[in-house]
Amino acid sequence: MDRRECERLLEEKVGYRFSDHGLLRESLTHKSFSNEQPGRSVAHNERLEFLGDAVLDLVVSHALFDALPDRNEGELSRVRAEVVSEKSLALLGRGLDLGGGLLLGKGEARSGGRDKDSLIADALEALLGAIFCDGGLERVRPIIEDLFGEPIRFSAQRKSGVDFKSRLQEHLQGRYGKAPDYVLLHAEGPDHQRRYTIEARFEGRAVGEGRGRTKKAAEQEAARRALERLDG
């Protein structure tokens, strides 16, 4: 399938036709691809991702404000954080086959970039940013509400979030009388798009690794993976 046909199918899946197809192409272009284009400047999707992240937060926050009039600020923040988490975004992005449409550098493609949660989540935010630039808030709002409607309903039904760190601590302390530690392995990306990688350790041994846009999110993901190993 050629590039234009791939983009046309994506437009059909998301329910939006671009006036400026350059914005759509940019939203699917990873910086590894841009860096491998000698002699010419090719825009990548980080700026659109930055914009899409803000638009997504606004629309989801408004939807939650209307749908959950009895919830306080803390509970609304909890639901929003779950709905726009990297894991949630990647799941929705896979439903649109965003990974298959990404323009990646050769090294990133060889390392499995098309199936990386972080790249798919970033591309979805960039796509939403591109739709906002092309059609404005009133065009992107119903698309976001449609894509995220089910995750919002699912998360809102629960009275509290899943606290994997507390569950892991209870498990280890109950069985061994000791709590896990969390170690920052590295942080990457510019300040507004920081991503953290954190390792959960028990008695000096790695038991789970997680990535996230905040240290807390990365710790939760590391704890979740540790629980999966312990339960497996």
Q: What is the C-alpha separation between 29 and 129, in angstroms, rounded?
A: 13
Of 125, 134, 219, 221, catalytic: 125
Of 53, 108, 122, 199, catalytic: 53
Measuring CA to CA, which residue among 191, 27, 20 is closest to residue 93? 27
- Residue 125 annotated among the catalytic residues of the structure: yes
CA 201 distance to own-chain centroid: 25
Bridging pattern class, strands 205-212 and 195-202: antiparallel
**129 Cβ contact list (under 8 Å, min separation 6):** 27, 47, 48, 49, 50, 51, 52, 53, 55
Rounded to the nearest 5 degrees, what angle is found at the Cα of 98, between the Cα atoms of 25 and 157?
A: 130
Q: 183: which strand partners?
A: 199
Name the residues annotated as catalytic: 53, 125
